[in-house]
Structure 1
Amino acid sequence: MFKTDIITVPILPFGMVNAHVISTDTGCILIDAGIPGSEHKIGKALARHGLAFRDIKLIVVTHAHTDHAGSAAQVRALSGAPILAHQDDADFYSRKTPMTYCTTGWVGKLFLKTPVPHEPYKGFVPDLMMKDGETVNLLDFGVEGIVRHTGGHTPGSIVVELASEDIMVGDLIASGILIGGMMFKGRAIRPPFEDDPAIVSRELMRMVEAGGKRFHMGHGGPLEVPEVMRHASALAKIGRHQCASDCRHTGEDPQSLRALGETR
């Protein structure tokens, strides 16, 4: 097994938004790219560990929300690395279709009224497009692990399951006060938006059963197995219809989004 280092890149303070670099002796991949303009923070984090953009072999974007995909196009341009994502979020990445958000509570409803979730980013087409339930082996990029489609948070949500028993789950789970924050980072919470809690519950349980020990996420964390299982069990009791009735588009015009993706 390769020696694997997981480098957390704090895009916003207090773990409110994280990206992650997975570094081994033979490869380096980036998990998520933060909000638009985050390439500068990613570059500084790489430099602190003796790395540079040219060392990135792959960019994995876990889903199409702006705080995860916002700087993907810029990092690709700086590194030359391909972007890997799932086809079920493809129209969101290209800015052809506006995002749909299913709020999970008052935080999500309040957050949706702010400009943050709607912040446009430079549209892109992933170089490596996962389809249906296929997996991608990361050995070709110098990392022992696989990328797997889960859905649940967005239609095209994906996770990275490493041989080190670390799991990079994007937004399948969050922790802390107001996602991340200064307190209770070891306490799992639902993110502000979530398509289907039943799918998230099933996938979290599957990852634990498959040997996952540490769960790294885009907001807060990391979390250990007991807390992940507590959260997954709570999600299993939530009916899908409770979320489906509170899903809404961003309200952005797809035509203007498409133009933005073509011109930026």
Structure 2
Amino acid sequence: MTATAPALENPALVSTKVLSDNTTVFELTGYIQSIYLVKQADKLLLLDGCCRADISAIQGFIEQSLTLPFSALKLVVVTHMHPDHAGAAHKLRKLTGCKIAAANVDGHWYSGLDGKLMHLADIALANWVGQRKGKGKRNLWYNPKLSPDIKLDDGQTLPMFSDWQALFTQGHTDRDLSLYHQPTGKVYVADLMVTVKGRYIPPFPLFYPNRYQASLHRIKALSPSGIMLAHGGEVHPSDDDYQHLFERAPKVPLTHWRSVKIKLRKVLFGR
């Protein structure tokens, strides 16, 4: 008696953007973030590493909607190490043979005891967001130490997908990447900004305020034709929106531990 394979999920298709005769971007609904899957001829590129909980949905869309083998996925970029951006990468490589690309930054984001605690906190936060979205609690565990096949330098084009250029846009963490589609001027910025109640705000945490300001200026200076967000879809910020972001951006690091200390101070001392 053979075991029945689990049914593949078929995620909601949010939008389809045709960038050229042979390049299309599909935006799918992920566990807590948008999934951007690029189809270039018969090759597929994921602009980010998604959540572990997204793997079945990605496979379902590739095999059922695109009618391509799962192995058509050739490259997964990890823009940074948070659970909704790196969580599926290693497993996708194991399942499809794809390559993983990440920023050429020394060391691991989650290193030492503090890193282990932060990794657990980030997984818990991602699950909390998923439950708030009505998605239920899922297994989001992933290896906190990424082993990329390709380390991308600032300005380097992606192997196999040379229309896409990696840009260092650090601040949220020390290794944030944005991916710029040079022919059309569209750019995926991951968590550089998020939308809340119709306004753009900086992400949490934000470890490097000065780098963050520089990254915002860099994206604004590109004058992109569209900005794809991990949390908010494709947007077109105005000068006023950018100014709001610059003003809202913290001047000191806004981290997990700093937030805990501020809350403890309020509880203990009322200020």
> TM-score when scaled to structure 1?
0.71
The equivalent residue for 1:243 is 253
Amino acid aligned to 2:33? V
Amino acid aligned to 2:157? N
Alpha-carbon distance change, 121 to 111 in structure 1, aligned in 2, over 3 angstroms: closer
Amino acid aligned to 2:93? R
* Cα shift at 1:20: 0.9
* Cα shift at 1:171: 0.5
* Cα shift at 1:162: 0.4
Aligned equivalents of 1:49 and 1:37: distance in 2? 20
The equivalent residue for 2:30 is 11
The equivalent residue for 1:160 is 179
The equivalent residue for 1:98 is 116
Q: Which runs of 5+ in 2 are unaligned?
A: 1-19, 131-138, 261-271
Aligned equivalents of 2:173 and 2:186: distance in 1? 22
Aligned equivalents of 2:190 and 2:162: distance in 1? 18
Alpha-carbon distance change, 66 to 111 in structure 1, aligned in 2, over 3 angstroms: closer
The equivalent residue for 1:67 is 84
Describe the SS at the equivalent of 2:45: strand
Per mean C-alpha deviation after superposition, the further-off stretch among 88-97 and 73-82 is 88-97
Amino acid aligned to 2:50? G
CA contact (8 A) 2:30 2:50 kept: yes
Which among 36, 47, 50 is matched to residue 20 of structure 1? 36
Alpha-carbon distance change, 112 to 42 in structure 1, aligned in 2, over 3 angstroms: closer
The one-character-per-residue Cα deviations of 1:87-116 (angstroms, maximum 9, x if unpaired) are 437513789943759xxxxxx9x9599598
Map 1:27-106; keep pairs closer than 5 Å: 27-47=43-63, 48-88=65-105, 90-92=107-109, 97-98=115-116
Aligned equivalents of 1:130 and 1:194: distance in 2? 22
Q: Which runs of 5+ in 1 are unaligned?
A: 102-107, 178-183, 252-264
- Pairwise CA RMSD: 3.5
Amino acid aligned to 2:91? Q
> TM-score when scaled to structure 2?
0.70
The one-character-per-residue Cα deviations of 1:95-140 (angstroms, maximum 9, x if unpaired) are 9943759xxxxxx9x9599598x95313431111235xx33212x4
* Cα shift at 1:43: 0.9
The one-character-per-residue Cα deviations of 1:6-30 (angstroms, maximum 9, x if unpaired) are 1112112xxx412211112263211
Alpha-carbon distance change, 166 to 239 in structure 1, aligned in 2, over 3 angstroms: closer
Residue identity over aligned pairs, in percent, reads 21
Describe the SS at the equivalent of 1:78: helix
* Cα shift at 1:160: 0.4
Alpha-carbon distance change, 49 to 113 in structure 1, aligned in 2, over 3 angstroms: closer
Q: Which has the higher contact order (CA 8 A, sep 6+)?
A: 1
CA contact (8 A) 1:90 1:125 kept: no
Aligned equivalents of 1:126 and 1:206: distance in 2? 26
Aligned equivalents of 2:21 and 2:171: distance in 1? 31
CA contact (8 A) 1:111 1:192 kept: no
CA contact (8 A) 2:170 2:212 kept: yes
Aligned equivalents of 2:110 and 2:149: distance in 1? 12
Which among 190, 212, 219 is matched to residue 224 of structure 2? 212
Per mean C-alpha deviation after superposition, the further-off stretch among 83-92 and 55-64 is 83-92
Amino acid aligned to 1:128? I
